[in-house]
Copies of this chain bind each other. A is one copy, B any other.
């Protein structure tokens, strides 16, 4: 390419000189940068002609994406045609839309409405690549797969790909308020410009839909689970309908968080009791109104009786009563209810970790078949590491939906590089053992483990709390885009490997150059463990600054609830540290299947990464390393800091392999991360040493400031704090 430019200059031809747009991350993994010239001719031979015969909005979006992608990747968009007539055509669609595809008589059974084939075939004797599906949306997904093959430098010969999603409801949860504030958002305010909707439809909404469709996300909950009832008023339904219209061609449904007390707040009723006939009528009428406005509305997400939100328990009713009432209103229209299991009551429990299980398990089998119970990956709250939630496997008659957090509320906000693919993978592969070994969380989520339970709803799903905002790069940092990507890929297929996903993402987002891909993927793969180390090693949890969760706050105590403090969770004292959840303590381990309970409950058998999650452990407890707990703890903190230093060094060495704009931002953020990792290490050690009263291991530097200094730091304007 450079040679061509040089030729032009030598020829004296004026080259248009709009400076190349600075790489700002807006294009995400759909950057479609030119492939390496060594592969160019080969790929072009497999994309000589583009045939997307259907004339639906989805098919047009598919054609546009293929044209855009191939133009970027291969330097030219192939000619479009109504039917394949050249060697190397790409034909995309359904058998119904294309006689040429129909004539291939490919087996599409089992692909459903969203699966697809990507196959190398012959059409009228000429080699071609076909993307075939039962629906236009399936074909769109297949088209993105085809582009991904080129983006990741895969061969296009002899393709025989068969893909269908393993979960049905693959949704983002936006914790976006109607005033555009994003709770736990570190990428600027909400991309939903409610004030100017429905009249102004920002082109960014289309790019949002493209990005999500490219990784198989098929739904989005637009508003915060802590929502205002205003979201259900006619004015906001009209705005929501405008977004639904943009998203529809991309196979994406809109959902809304519903405030349980909406019948009172916007309905003029005196109660929101789910067994009250007037309340039930109100929700039925509201559902009818919604579906008149948005015929393919997805349904409701509900946070009820949690953190002060209203819910059925306010009226002495159960979660099932509440969820089922809403499901009955939505079911006639095809909608669903996602009912969150992240609940804890106003009364302070002996162990918050146990509460969701205690509240939900008794209702297994009592939920309407249009209800999914949405369960966070762990029982506390999106910590850098948690053991899998004990509800997984404990409600065999109820479809449980995974709730992962994509935004990094507890992992250093957007400025810390922490690839969460490994976190997701660890949870999905965790073995609940409820039906013997191999009863993984993934098999709970995709329904295969408990599919035979009588009366069990076939619904399946996965939700990710979005990390998206108006920042130019969408996610607040370039590397946080990987967490959005990884969530989507795992929602589609919970058995994918985090490392393979990281490799895909790096190649699509930056470059396929192995000299870059190798070290960057390696850096990503250890990055979340580094956060665990420098924030909450060995099973410690919930030690962040109060409210905003920015920076270390192991000393946080007092306030309205004990379980909103750090001391509640770490329980450090002169003897040791950790939350005793064994049979001698809160006995939370009993919520797991017996083999798991036995392992977690035994201080000598529990994996060290969960040691302090389940046990109060003496400072001199001997670890696998042979070191005392105290020494091990200090070394883990330091190991986390060292990993960040290593990432900085790796990244500095890659300057020539990536555009200067993105390199500079990542480098600046890594510098912040190192500073903050050190701060976490120093403050945590300064604090815990007041209990351990032990010296630091040899070679470990004392914290440079006093504990009082660390405790004095205040961050009243830290982003994302709930308001």
Contact = CB atoms under 8 A, between A and B. Distances in A.
A310 B413 CA distance: 35
Interface stretch (A53-61, A195-203, A273-281, A355-363): A195-203
Interface in A678-717: 716-717
B16 A4 contact: yes
Task: State the copy count for this chain.
Answer: 2
Given A14-B1, A717-B194, A717-B230, A672 B200 contact: yes
A433 interface: no
Nearest to A471: B470
A18 interface: yes
Contact of A195 (B20, B34, B665, B717): B717
B669 A200 contact: yes
B669 A195 contact: no
A605 interface: no
B21 A14 contact: no
A178 interface: yes
Contacts of A138: none
Interface in A632-667: 661, 665
B14 A76 contact: yes
A671 B199 contact: yes
Interface stretch (A5-13, A126-134, A165-173, A335-343): A5-13
Given A16-B5, A203-B661, A717 B189 contact: no
Interface string A209-230: 0000000000000000000101
Contacts of A21: 18, 21
A469 to B, nearest CB: 9
Contacts of A669: 200
A178 B19 CA distance: 34
Contact of A4 (B14, B68, B675): B14
A623 interface: no
Contacts of A177: 717
B17 A72 contact: yes
A179 interface: yes
Contacts of A415: 196, 200
Contacts of A195: 413, 717-719
A162 interface: no
A601 interface: no
Interface string A443-477: 00000000000000000000000000011100000
Interface string A563-606: 00000000000000000000000000000000000000000000
A267 interface: no
Nearest to A68: B19
A643 to B, nearest CB: 19
Contact of A75 (B17, B230, B671): B17
Nearest to A178: B717
A670 to B, nearest CB: 10
Contact of A188 (B72, B189, B201, B718): B189
A269 interface: no
Interface in A299-339: none
Given A20-B18, A188-B189, A230 B672 contact: no
A22 interface: yes
Contacts of A77: 17
Contacts of A15: 4, 75
Contacts of A45: none
Interface in A20-49: 20-22, 34
A86 interface: no
B4 A230 contact: no
Interface in A261-285: none
A248 interface: no
Given A195-B717, A661-B203, A665-B200, A13 B18 contact: no
A500 interface: no
Interface centre among A14, A230, A675 (most CB of B within 10 A): A14
Given A15-B75, A19-B68, A200-B669, 14 more contacts: A4-B13, A4-B15, A16-B75, A17-B72, A18-B21, A19-B71, A177-B717, A178-B716, A188-B188, A189-B470, A203-B661, A228-B716, A230-B716, A230-B717
